[in-house]
Structure 1
Amino acid sequence: MVTRERAVELVEAQPARERQESHPAARPPEVAVDDVEEHALGWLVHCQSVAYIRSRRFEDMLVGQGPYLVDRLDGSIHHIPVTTHVGENWEALYLEQVRGVRPPDPLLTAVRALVDSEGTTAAMRHLRKHAPALRPQQAKAYVTAVRDGGEPPEELVSLTRKPDPCPPLGIETLAGPVREPPGGEGGVPRSSGDAHG
C-alpha cells in the first residue's frame, strides 16, 4: 500500500524531471503539490504553479492541469486530463485502461433473465433489438454462452455498448509500478512512457 507521503514524493519528482528535461526556452513553470485527496483507487495529487501557491492570484494559476493518480496498489503514476477528471466516469476509464477491468455488459442481466424465463429465441430477439451491431450468428454465440452458464466473449460484448459520441481523453501512465528496495520505501519509478504532465 502506498502512503500519502509516498504518493506526494513520487508526484513531486515527476514535474521536476519534466522541467529539467525540457529545453530552457520552452521550460514550463515550476510546479508543486497543492492538494492531496484520498480515493479508493489511490491518491489524487493536484499540482499547481509555485507562483500561484504563494500568491493565490488567478493570473498565476495553471489552467487545465488535471490531477495525478498514484495507484494505491503499486505506486504507478497516471495523469488524468482535467476534462476527463470532471466527467462522471473517470474511475471506470481508469479501471479499464490501466487495470484491464472489463466494463459491465449493459445487456447481460436482461439476456440471462430471458434465457431462464422465455428461452433462447426470446433472448436473441431482445439482444438483436438492443444491439443491432450484432449479426445473427454473433447474437447466437452470445446467447449460447449465457445459456451454458458462461460469459459472452468481450468481442461480442463490445458490440452491445453504445459508442460514446464524445469519448474522454485517455489516462496517461507516466511511471510505475514502483520497485521498492528491500527494507522499505524509496524506490524509483520505472518510466513506462513519455511524460507530458
Structure 2
Amino acid sequence: MIEREAAVQSVEDQLERDYQQWRAAGVDAMRMAVVDVEEHELVWIVSWTSEEFVRTRNPAFMLAGNGPYLIDRVDGGLHQIGVASAVTGQWEADCRARIRGLSVRTAVDDLHDALCEVAAARGRMHAVRTLCQRLAVLSPAEAIEYVCALLDGRGPAPSGPSFVPVLPRAWPVPAAPRSSQPGPARALRDRAQTVGRQPVGAWTSAFAHPKTHIKPTVPVDNH
C-alpha cells in the first residue's frame, strides 16, 4: 500500500519535472507546491498551487483550473483529473470500473433492489405497480414480464417487450462495463447508455498511460 508521504513525494517529483521542462523551454515559470492531501479508499487526492501564493497569499499568484493529482493507493500510479471531475466526484466511478475492475452501482441496481423489496413484502403485483410508477412508458403486460424475469433470475422471454424503457433523465446512469449476467439488468444498462448519455470519462487520458501527464497551465511570473 502507498502511504501518504510516498504519495506527496510522487506529486512533488512530478511538479519539479514540470517546472524543469518549462524552464528548459524558456518559460519563466513559478515553482509549485503541495497544499493539501485527502485520503480516499482508492487514492490519495493531492492538491497543489504555486509556491508564491503559499508564501504571500497574494491572489495574483493563485492558480485556476489545476485539478488535483490522484495517487493509486495500491500501485502508486499517478493521475491527474480536471477541476469539474474533482468537484463532482465523477472520477470515482471511472476509477472503480476502468482501473480496479470493480462493479459500479447504478440507478438500475437501485430500481431492482426496490422491486425485490416490494415483491418480498407485498407480492409481485405491487412490484409491478411500482415499476409502472417509475417507468410510465411500460405497458402493464411489459411490466409484468419484466418483474417476473427479474424475480425469477431469467432473461425476458422472446415474446416479451420489444424495447427496453429509458430511465428518467433525473436518474444519473454512469457508464459501466456491460454485465455478463443475462436478464433485465444488462438490457437496461445497455439501453440507458445509448440514449444520449455521455460516458462518465472523468479521468484524463493519463489513465490510458498512467505515467503520462497533461501539463497544467503554469502562470508566468512577470515580476
Please give the TM-score of this superposition, normalised by the length of structure 1: 0.66
Q: Structure 2 matches for 1:104-183, cutoff 5 A? A: 104=106, 105-116=109-120, 117-119=122-124, 122-131=126-135, 140=145, 143-148=148-153, 152-157=184-189, 159=191, 170-172=202-204, 174=206
Task: Identify if the C-alpha distance between structure 1 residues 164 and 75 changes in structure 2 by more than 3 Å, giving closer, same or farther.
Answer: farther
How far, CA to CA, are the matches of 2:196 and 2:59 in structure 1?
34
Alpha-carbon distance change, 10 to 71 in structure 1, aligned in 2, over 3 angstroms: same
Does 2:214 correspond to 1:195? yes
Contact 2:46 2:68 in 1 (8 A): yes
Could you tell me which residue of structure 1 aligns to residue 4 of structure 2? 4
Does the aligned pair in 1 maintain the 2:79–2:213 contact within 8 Å? no
- 1:147 maps to amino acid: D
2:89 and 2:2 map into 1 onto residues whose CA distance is 25
Greater share of strand:
1
Alpha-carbon distance, 1:55 to partner: 2.3
Q: 1:26 to 1:174 in 2, by over 3 A?
A: farther
1:47 counterpart SS class: strand
TM-score (norm 2): 0.59
Gaps of 5+ in 1: 177-189
Q: Give the length in aligned residue pairs.
A: 182
Instruction: Give the number of the structure whose alpha-carbon radius of gyration is greater.
Output: 2
Contact 2:47 2:69 in 1 (8 A): yes
Indicate if the aligned counterparts of 2:81 and 2:204 stay in contact, CA closer than 8 A: yes
Give the partner amino acid of 1:3: E
Report the Cα offset of residue 39 of structure 1: 2.5
The residue aligned with 2:158 is none
* Residues 111, 143 of structure 1: 8 Å contact kept: no
Structure 1 residues 53 and 133, CA, compared in 2 at 3 Å: closer, same or farther? Answer: farther
Letter in 2 for 1:36: V
C-alpha spacing 1:61/1:99, structure 2 compared with 1 (3 Å): same
For 2:169, the equivalent position in structure 1 comes to none
Match of 2:43 in 1: 42
Structure 2 alignment gaps of length 5 or more: 155-180, 217-223
Q: Give yes or no for contact 1:134–1:160 (8 Å, CA) kept in 2.
A: no
> Is the Cα–Cα contact under 8 Å of residues 44 and 69 in structure 1 kept in the other structure?
yes
